[in-house]
Amino acid sequence: MTSDIEIRRLTAADIPAMRALNALYAREFGDPASYPADAPDEEWLRRRLGHDGIFVLVAEIDGRVVGGLTAYDLPKLEQARSEIYIYDLAVAAAWRRCGIASALIAELQHIAASIGAWAVFVQADPGDDPAVALYTKLGTREDVMHFDLPPRPR
């Protein structure tokens, strides 16, 4: 990895970097509908970025976001512990295979250790061979199914 890359956790003051990360997610995931450039509003982002259980890490070069991840602390009730779930992870195409994704995950693992989390986990879609290869290198694979259940008002 090049030494010009800075990995840092976003705070409530980092709205522009969060918007840049959402734009990167939209572009790299090919999903602009899920990551619109103008949403959510600044107050929403400020509150979420200030939340202890939300981890947004970015990789920057000269102040420009070239990668990032969004993860969530999931407190457990069966034991006094929590797990951290990586929800999104992306690196700009021009910066892939430079160790950025591994550096982002390593920083999250350091954060996880500092808060006493039991594990960090992530999902990969079948056919996303680069992600599967990265996660296989870093951890233990479990084959599971994922289901989206819609909210239902009473």
CA atoms within 13 A on the CB side of 68: 26
Beta bridge partners of 64: 61
pLDDT digits (tens, 9 = 90+) for 38-90: 678 999 999 999 999 999 999 999 999 999 999 999 999 998 889 999 999 99
pLDDT digits (tens, 9 = 90+) for 14-40: 999 999 999 999 999 988 888 876 678
Domain range for 93: 5-138
Closest CA to 67 of 36, 88, 45, 46: 88
User: Is-contact 102 86, C-beta < 8 A?
Assistant: no
Which token pair is 19? 């918007």
Tell whether 90 is covered by a domain: yes
Query: What's the full length of the chain, in residues?
Result: 154
Tell whether 146 is covered by a domain: no
Number of folded domains that form the chain = 1
Tell whether 47 is covered by a domain: yes
**CATH number of 118's domain:** 3.40.630.30
